[in-house]
Amino acid sequence: MPKARKSSPPATPKRRSQARRQLTAQELSELAPIPETLRPGLDVLFVGINPGVVSGQKQLHFGNPQNYFWKGLFESELIPEAVRPEDGHRLSAEWNMSIVNLVQRTTPSTSDLSRHEMRAAVPELCRKITSNPPRVVCFVGKGIYEAFVGHTGFALGLQDDVYDLGAELETQPEHLPPLRRPDSPSDAPFAYLFVMPSTSGRTAAYQNPEKRQYFCQLKYVRDCAARQPDSAPIDHARLAALGPQVRSRYFKRQ
C-alpha cells in the first residue's frame, strides 16, 4: 500500500515588523507635514515632538496604534468617547482642542532629531501659540518642553510659569518663549503650561496607568482654565491628588 504523502504545513505569514519595508531617507523627506488646525480660544493645544513613520505615512497625529494618546484622552474624560487616530479631526471640530508638532519632518525615531533642530523650531511654535492663543498648552513629552525652555530644571505636570500671550515675540531664539509667573503684575492674558510623559509605546519609564493620571491632571487644569476668570484659581492640593503618588521607574496603580 503506498504511503500517504505528508501535507506541507501552511505558510507562516511574515511578522509585521519584518514585512514593513524601511523607508529611505529620500522617501522620508518627501512625506508632507501633518496638517494642523489652529484657531484662537482652544481649550488645549497639544504639542508633539515630530511625526513618526506611521504617523507621517498616514498623515495623522499620534497615528501609531501603540501610542497611548487617544486612549488617554478618553480614559481621563477629556473627550466623551473613544476615537481612533483616523477620527482625530473631531478633537478640534467637537472638543475645542488641537495638535501641532514642534518639528514637522518625519523620522524613524525622535533620537534622529538634534537639540539644535528642536531649539530652532521654537520661534515658529511661539508664533503659533501667540497668534492662536489657547487656554492651556500641553507638551506631550518632557524632551519637547526641555527644547522649548532650553533647560531641564522642571518637573512633569503643571508648570510654575505661564506663557505670556501679550508679549511681543523676539526674533532671537534665546529670548523665547515669553514666560512669566501667573501672579505677576500684568493684565495680559496667559496660557497655562503642562508637561506630561511621552505617550509613545517606546516610553518604558512611564506605564499607561501613570500616563492616565497626568491626563486626569490636565483635564482638571483645562476645566479650571475654561471657567476663569469667574472661578477660583487652580487648587494645587487637588491637582496633586489627581497625579501619580509613586515616583518609581515602573509605576503600578495599587
Q: What is the DSSP letter of 52?
A: -
Q: What is the dihedral sign for C-alpha 27, 117, 157, 97?
A: negative
All three cell numbers of 124, joined, read 515658529
pLDDT value, residue 15: 46
Neighbours of 108 (CB within 10 A): 13
Stated pTM of the model = 0.87
pLDDT value, residue 20: 60
Backbone angles phi, psi at 167, to 5 degrees: -75, 150
All three cell numbers of 2, joined, read 503506498
Share of the chain above pLDDT 90, in %: 71
The per-residue pLDDT for range 6-27, each reduced to its tens digit, is 555 554 444 444 446 788 888 8
Is residue 119 within 8 A of residue 150, CB to CB? The reply is yes
All three cell numbers of 146, joined, read 526641555
